[in-house]
């Protein structure tokens, strides 16, 4: 069962130098607050796994926290390039990194294998027609023992720690999410430790009245962090929109390593926690990102007592 704690404490306790750290979220609900805490705590030699690294992993790369990146699409979604990622791969700045690159499906299948407790997952052979097959050793091709046809097997991933942001959890760590859920359940079940940040901690009764919405059960969660706006500049369905201006500013103002460092100084190292970060963002900008409510109709589970 989870303990409720602050982001700094959770990251200090559960993210160690040299570990394989997996980030949850898929454009939606990216755990920026937990990632920023890793930069502030100067984590080193990490292997980071994220199908879409997004700005958070780009910032970790610029800050020199990452030795190896496992990914399948490294861009600034809808905007352009991730410049720190490109500098690391094209120019080895600030230092060389290793990359392990897949397709989205292969990343998802590797998580699923890890989450299911099996050493691999079979996937169809599309990747064999691509050049990716020549640059990766995480999959093997066999003749299917049932049909005799070729099939690829991709190796399970079991991260040391998964970092996840969601809308709500109870104090025990039962975590509920809606909207685009990405691989959050798979990585939570695959990883050794799980740290969750949420927009709000709610009473257990709220969770138990709507159990279908639970993505991660409490016995899998080590720490719950109540962190409103913890996914900014990405979004939290029903809470706030993506701050597209931030994504566009990042594209324009991180084209050199020095500019990127300045950006990180301003938005990460120059604040001590998410509250200060939000103060820097300002009330006006926060209000502009708030969304109009659009409730679903409550469902009747019935009471069978």
Partner 1 sequence: MSKQYAKEFSYQELMVTAASRELKNHEVVFVGIGIPQLGALLAQRTHAPDLTLIYESGVVGTQPARLPLSIGDPTLVSGTYGIFNFYETFSMLLQRGFIDVGFIGGAQVDKHGNINSTVIGGYDRPKVRLPGSGGGCEITGLSKRIIIITPHEKRRMVEKVDFITSPGFVDGPGARERVGLDGGPSAVITTMGVLRFDDKSKEMYLCSHHPGLSVDQVKQNTGWDLKVSPNVKTTEPPTVEEIEILRKDLDPQGIFLKKGVT
Which residues are at the interface with partner 1 (CB under 8 A)?
A: 26-28, 51-52, 71-75, 77-78, 80-82, 85-86, 89-90, 101-105, 108-109, 111-112, 123-132, 134-135, 149-150, 179-186, 235, 237, 241-242, 244, 291, 294
Nearer to partner 1, 28 or 222 (CB): 28
- The least distance separating partner 1 from the CB of residue 40, rounded to whole angstroms, comes to 27
Q: How far is Cα 268 from Cα 11, in angstroms, rounded to an integer?
A: 15
Task: Report the nearest approach of partner 1 to the CB of residue 10 (Å).
Answer: 24
Of 64, 126, 125, 120, nearest to 97 (Cα)?
64
- At closest approach, how far in Å is the CB of 52 from partner 1? 8
Provide the minimum distance between the beta carbon of 14 and partner 1 in the complex, in angstroms, as a whole number: 23
Two tokens, residue 159: 């991260």
Distances (CA, A) of 289 to 30, 98, 242, 294: 16, 37, 7, 15
As a whole number of angstroms, the distance between CA 63 and CA 44 comes to 9
- Shortest CB 7 distance to partner 1, Å: 23
Residue 52 or 175 having the CB closest to partner 1:
52
Q: Tell me whether strands 161-169 and 214-216 are parallel, antiparallel or unpaired.
A: unpaired
Q: Which is nearer to partner 1, 183 or 218 (CB)?
A: 183
Which residue lies nearer to partner 1 by CB, 266 or 291?
291
- Determine contact, residues 67/88, Cβ cutoff 8 Å: no
Residue 120: which residues within 8 A CB-CB, separation 6 or more?
Answer: 113, 140, 153, 154, 155, 156
Helix or strand (DSSP H, E) at 101:
strand 98-101
| Closer Cβ to partner 1, 44 or 285, answer by number | 285
Report long-range pairs for 259-268 (Cβ below 8 Å, ≥24 apart).
260/59, 260/62, 260/83, 260/84, 260/87, 261/62, 263/59, 263/62, 264/39, 264/59, 264/62, 264/63, 267/36, 268/36, 268/39, 268/40, 268/59, 268/63
CB of 244 to partner 1, least distance (A): 6
Q: Are 187 and 115 in contact (CB under 8 A)?
A: yes
Q: 201 and 4 in contact (C-beta within 8 Å)?
A: yes
Q: Least separation, in Å, of the C-beta of 118 and partner 1?
A: 13
Nearer to partner 1, 35 or 43 (CB): 35
Q: Between 14 and 214, name the residue whose CB sits nearer to partner 1.
A: 214
């Amino acid at each position: 069962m989870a303990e409720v704690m602050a982001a700094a404490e959770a990251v200090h306790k559960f993210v160690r130098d040299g570990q394989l750290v997996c980030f949850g979220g898929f454009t939606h609900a990216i755990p920026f607050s937990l990632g920023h805490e890793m930069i502030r705590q100067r984590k080193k030699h990490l292997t980071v796994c994220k199908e879409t690294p997004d700005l958070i992993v780009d910032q970790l790369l610029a800050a020199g926290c990452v030795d190896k990146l496992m990914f399948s699409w490294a861009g600034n979604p809808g905007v352009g390039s991730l410049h720190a990622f490109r500098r690391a791969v094209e120019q080895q700045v600030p230092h060389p990194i290793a990359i392990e690159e897949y397709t989205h499906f292969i990343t998802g299948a590797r998580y699923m294998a890890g989450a299911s407790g099996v050493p691999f997952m079979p996937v169809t052979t599309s990747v064999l027609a691509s050049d990716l097959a020549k640059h990766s050793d995480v999959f093997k091709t066999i003749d299917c023992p049932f049909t005799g046809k070729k099939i690829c097997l991709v190796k399970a991933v079991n991260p040391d720690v998964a970092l996840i942001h969601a809308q709500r959890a109870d104090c025990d760590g039962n975590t509920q999410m809606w909207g685009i859920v990405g691989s959050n359940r798979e990585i939570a079940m695959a990883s050794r430790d799980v740290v969750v940040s949420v927009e709000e901690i709610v009473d257990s009764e709220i969770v138990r009245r709507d159990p279908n919405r639970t993505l991660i059960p409490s016995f899998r969660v080590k720490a719950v962090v109540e962190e409103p706006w913890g996914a900014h500049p990405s979004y939290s369905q029903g809470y706030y929109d993506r701050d597209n201006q931030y994504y566009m500013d990042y594209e324009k103002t991180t084209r050199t390593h020095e500019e990127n460092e300045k950006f990180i100084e301003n938005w990460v190292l120059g604040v001590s926690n998410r509250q200060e970060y939000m103060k820097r963002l300002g009330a006006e900008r926060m209000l502009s990102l708030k969304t109009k409510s659009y409730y679903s109709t409550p469902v009747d589970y019935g009471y069978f007592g």
